[in-house]
């Protein structure tokens, strides 16, 4: 009896060890590009996150440029885009390491000011990407004009709807700047240019595929005349597409316009469930950020605002060279 | 499916209402039966009131398509809640079910998509992942003596991390329609399979909880673990088994969410555990352990999804939706405790 108990303890311990080993094995997956450049320059990138494909694409772009320039980067971010505090701790730790430059994407434009000022006081050049901090220290920012991108989504939605009817928005955040600006850009453009289009509902699914699908289904149930839904990020847009599939609807019943890329969204556009989507240039954001940091380290002045651009893509132009280059699976 | 109150090995002072007359459940007094019926009918009444309210407020609510949508949106949280009902009845808690579910979904993806194993093997592998996590939780709680809150909090983080590492921080897609049909196919016309799976899970859990020795010990451990142990029950073994059972349900939920989304999304899962726990509590299961029911949990999960769907149909702002759901949880649990205090 005692022996058996011991055996079961051993068995459990063995399982735990295996689980840990699996953990260690995959542990190197998240490390930054360690190009063997002779200059020994280190750029610390603090992102808004790393789990979404978008941030992985930013990281890819950053790593590619880092390799070309022969510099080393680190890339980290909090688990979700609501963890302002966790991100500030990462920023603090980066400053303490005193890298040659810091690249930062602010989750909150105010909370970061003291730390960014401290980096400035320590003579660490700071560049920004995606979203800025309200401080005078950073020398540049590489980002998408989210208001313009939202307006472009509105233009295409209006065109596909024939300039009239009801439309709804499944947003990913009512707090962070991309969520707010992509929504406002869309809403403002609709109100200014398309008086016969009514925005009947705006709800937020945190970019969670499942939540966004359930929201879209409720919207479709509540508004039988709904002609279009705009999803403001990858998870929101894919959620809307899932809702269509589950209700056995097609792109002919409802016009769906999404944001960013990813395999699921690109498939939906190819097979006609989604009319099209706005894509940013995340690889470009990563690359331009590292370039700006590199320039700043070398005493040059990078452009204050680097607009990395945005495009509308649909089944017709998805394979064009210019578009295909900025899409990611 | 009424509240099950099997005989505890020794009368417990912690939950006086749990003491059964000699002879056990079969000879429970009529009053007790009525009382346990009342507890469910209270939750059930809440559900009916909500459905009537939303049906009157919007003609879009009580339609076949929307009701089917509500049931489908209950599936994942409902299955998690059914599993975690066992754990909560023992007086424990399992915070690892949300991200654990995601890890199971990712493992299913690894088995089917990355390794090309047959569907059945992949599904079993995903569920086994859940069972393994549950087993480790149970082991850490009983043999290492960790409080359930800490042991499962640690597992929540480990599962979240492993899901990201194993998937390479990218979604894993399922190509086979047969896999997606696990959630969205309709064996019964008009009813998505995910809902069928939820009901089957609830039925099995009900039988296990009310008709088997595992169920009896679940209640006994929750009522008075020490007394149960002293009466010769190997409480460690049974606790591990109970957490493993909960893990199996986590695994099933992982397969269902992966099938519904046609992909394993490694960043999902955080917060799902709290929704599941809320459903269990609304359903009348006590966080102190020793009492609870699967039917209650099912009703609790339905209350949550009816409420959220109804507020969405009425186009209530997302911010206010959270406030309303929070208030409903407060009211549901408060009335339940009021009623119990009056009975005590």
- Please indicate, yes or no, if residue A21 is contained in any of the structural domains: no
All residues of chain A having their beta carbon less than 8 Å from the beta carbon of residue B66 are 217-218, 221
C-beta atoms of A222 and B136 within 8 A: no
In terms of domains, do A182 and A233 share one? yes
Lowest mean pLDDT among A59-68, A262-271, B40-49, B187-196: B40-49
CATH of the domain at A186: 3.40.50.2300
Lowest mean pLDDT among A80-94, A146-160, A188-202, B239-253: A80-94
In terms of domains, do A171 and A211 share one? yes
In terms of domains, do A266 and A210 share one? yes
- Chain A with chain B: Cβ pairs closer than 8 A: 109
Q: Which two tokens stand for residue A87?
A: 């991100």
- Please indicate, yes or no, if residue A178 is contained in any of the structural domains: yes
Residue B172 has pLDDT above 50, yes or no: yes
Q: What is the pLDDT of residues B239-291, one digit of tens each?
A: 999 999 999 999 999 999 999 999 999 988 988 999 999 999 999 898 888 98
In this prediction, residues B41-68 reach a mean pLDDT of 90
pLDDT of residue B36: 61
User: Considering only alpha carbons, which residue of chain B is nearest residue A49?
Assistant: B267
Q: Which of A8, A50, A51 to mutate to test the interface with B (most CBs of B within 10 A)?
A: A51
- Please indicate, yes or no, if residue A109 is contained in any of the structural domains: yes
Tell me the nearest-neighbour CA distance from A40 into chain B, angstroms.
28
Q: What is the pLDDT of residues A24-74, one digit of tens each?
A: 333 333 333 344 444 689 999 999 987 778 888 899 999 999 999 999 999
| Percentage of residues in chain A having pLDDT higher than 70 | 88
In terms of domains, do A89 and A212 share one? no
C-beta atoms of B61 and A221 within 8 A: yes
Residue A14 has pLDDT above 60, yes or no: no
Band of the pLDDT at B109, cuts 50, 70, 90? very high
- Please indicate, yes or no, if residue A238 is contained in any of the structural domains: yes
- Please indicate, yes or no, if residue A251 is contained in any of the structural domains: yes
Neighbouring C-beta atoms of residue B326, cutoff 10 Å: 11
- Please indicate, yes or no, if residue A184 is contained in any of the structural domains: yes
All residues of chain A having their beta carbon less than 8 Å from the beta carbon of residue B164 are 51
In terms of domains, do A178 and A301 share one? no
C-beta atoms of A51 and B266 within 8 A: yes
In terms of domains, do A138 and A150 share one? no
Q: What is the pLDDT of residues A233-273, one digit of tens each?
A: 999 999 999 999 999 999 999 999 999 988 899 999 999 99
In terms of domains, do A154 and A275 share one? yes
How remote is the C-alpha of A10 from its chain's centroid?
44
B59 in contact with A, Cβ within 8 Å: no
Residue with tokens 């507890």: B39
Q: How many domains does chain A have?
A: 2
Can you give the pTM of this predicted structure?
0.79
In terms of domains, do A244 and A185 share one? yes
Containing structural domain, residue A138: 41-144+282-309
In terms of domains, do A131 and A196 share one? no
CB-closest option in A23, A203, A209 to B268: A209
C-beta atoms of A218 and B313 within 8 A: yes
In terms of domains, do A221 and A296 share one? no
All residues of chain A having their beta carbon less than 8 Å from the beta carbon of residue B169 are 29-30, 50-51, 56
In terms of domains, do A171 and A98 share one? no
Residue A309 has pLDDT above 60, yes or no: yes
- Please indicate, yes or no, if residue A19 is contained in any of the structural domains: no
Can you name the residues that pair with A226 across neighbouring β-strands? A166
Cite the DSSP H helix spans in chain B.
30-57, 64-89, 97-109, 119-142, 148-167, 177-184, 193-211, 213-230, 235-261, 272-282, 294-313, 318-343
Which of the two residues, B226 and B39, has the higher pLDDT score?
A: B226
Q: What is the pLDDT of residues A93-122, one digit of tens each?
A: 899 888 999 999 998 888 899 899 999 999
- Please indicate, yes or no, if residue A2 is contained in any of the structural domains: no
C-beta atoms of B270 and A27 within 8 A: no
DSSP-based three-state secondary structure for A56: helix
C-beta atoms of B315 and A200 within 8 A: yes
In terms of domains, do A75 and A186 share one? no
**Contact status, residue B89 vs residue B291, Cβ threshold 8 Å:** yes
pLDDT of residue B123: 98
CB-closest option in B65, B268, B318 to A204: B318
């Amino acid at each position: 009896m005692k022996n058996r108990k011991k055996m079961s303890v051993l068995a459990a311990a063995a399982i735990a060890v295996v689980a840990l080993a699996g953990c260690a094995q995959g542990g190197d997956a998240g490390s930054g590009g360690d190009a063997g450049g002779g200059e020994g320059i280190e750029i610390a990138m603090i992102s808004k996150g790393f789990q979404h494909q978008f941030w992985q694409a930013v990281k890819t772009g950053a790593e590619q440029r880092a390799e070309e320039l022969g510099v080393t980067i680190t890339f980290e971010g909090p688990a979700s885009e609501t963890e302002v505090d966790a991100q500030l701790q990462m920023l603090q730790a980066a400053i303490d390491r005193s890298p040659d430059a810091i690249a930062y994407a602010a989750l909150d434009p105010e909370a970061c000011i003291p730390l960014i000022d401290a980096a400035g006081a320590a003579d660490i050049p700071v560049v920004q990407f995606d979203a800025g901090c309200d401080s005078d220290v950073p020398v540049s920012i590489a980002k998408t004009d989210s208001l313009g991108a939202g307006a472009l989504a509105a233009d295409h939605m209006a065109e596909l709807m024939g300039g009239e009817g009801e439309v709804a928005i499944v947003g990913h955040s009512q707090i962070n700047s991309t969520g707010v600006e992509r929504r406002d850009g869309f809403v403002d453009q609709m109100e200014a240019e398309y008086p016969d289009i009514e925005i009947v509902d705006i709800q937020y699914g945190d970019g969670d595929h499942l939540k966004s699908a359930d929201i879209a289904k409720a919207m479709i149930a509540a508004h039988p005349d709904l002609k279009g839904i705009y999803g403001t990020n990858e998870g929101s847009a894919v959620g809307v597409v899932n809702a269509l599939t589950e209700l056995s609807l097609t792109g002919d019943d409802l016009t769906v316009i999404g944001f960013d890329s990813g395999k699921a969204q690109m498939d939906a556009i190819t097979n006609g469930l989604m009319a099209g989507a706005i894509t940013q240039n995340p690889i470009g954001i990563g690359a331009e950020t590292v370039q700006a940091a590199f320039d700043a380290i070398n005493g040059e002045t990078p452009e204050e605002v680097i607009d990395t651009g945005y495009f509308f893509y649909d089944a017709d132009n998805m394979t064009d060279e210019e578009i295909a280059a900025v899409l990611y699976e | 499916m009424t509240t099950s109150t099997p005989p505890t090995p020794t009368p417990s002072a912690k939950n006086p209402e749990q003491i059964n007359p000699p002879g056990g459940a079969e000879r429970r007094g009529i009053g007790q039966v009525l009382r346990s019926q009342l507890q469910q009918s209270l939750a059930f009444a809440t559900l009916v009131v909500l459905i009537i309210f939303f049906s009157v407020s919007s003609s879009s609510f009580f339609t076949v398509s929307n009701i089917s949508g509500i049931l489908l949106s209950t599936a994942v949280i409902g299955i998690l809640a059914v599993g975690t009902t066992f754990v909560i009845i023992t007086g424990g808690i399992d915070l690892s079910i949300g991200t654990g579910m995601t890890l199971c979904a990712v493992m299913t993806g690894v088995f089917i998509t990355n390794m090309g194993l047959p569907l059945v093997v992949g599904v079993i592998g995903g569920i086994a992942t859940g069972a393994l996590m549950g087993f480790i939780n149970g082991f850490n709680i009983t043999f290492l003596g960790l409080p359930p809150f800490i042991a499962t909090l640690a597992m929540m983080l480990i599962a979240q991390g492993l899901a990201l590492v194993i998937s390479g921080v990218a979604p894993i897609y399922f190509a086979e329609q047969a896999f997606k049909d696990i959630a969205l196919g309709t064996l019964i016309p008009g009813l998505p399979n995910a809902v069928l799976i939820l009901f089957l899970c609830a039925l099995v859990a009900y039988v296990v909880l009310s008709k088997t020795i595992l169920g009896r010990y679940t209640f006994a451990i929750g009522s008075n673990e020490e007394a149960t142990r002293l009466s010769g029950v190997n409480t460690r073994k049974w606790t591990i088994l109970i957490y493993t059972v909960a893990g199996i349900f986590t695994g099933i939920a992982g397969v269902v969410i992966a099938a519904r989304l046609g992909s394993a999304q490694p960043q999902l899962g955080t917060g799902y555990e709290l929704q599941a726990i809320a459903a269990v509590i609304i359903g009348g299961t006590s966080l102190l352990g020793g009492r609870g029911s699967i039917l209650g949990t099912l009703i609790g999960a339905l209350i949550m999804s009816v409420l959220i769907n109804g507020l969405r149909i009425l186009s209530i702002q997302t911010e206010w939706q959270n406030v309303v759901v929070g208030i409903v949880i407060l009211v549901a649990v408060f009335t339940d405790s009021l009623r119990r205090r009056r009975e005590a």
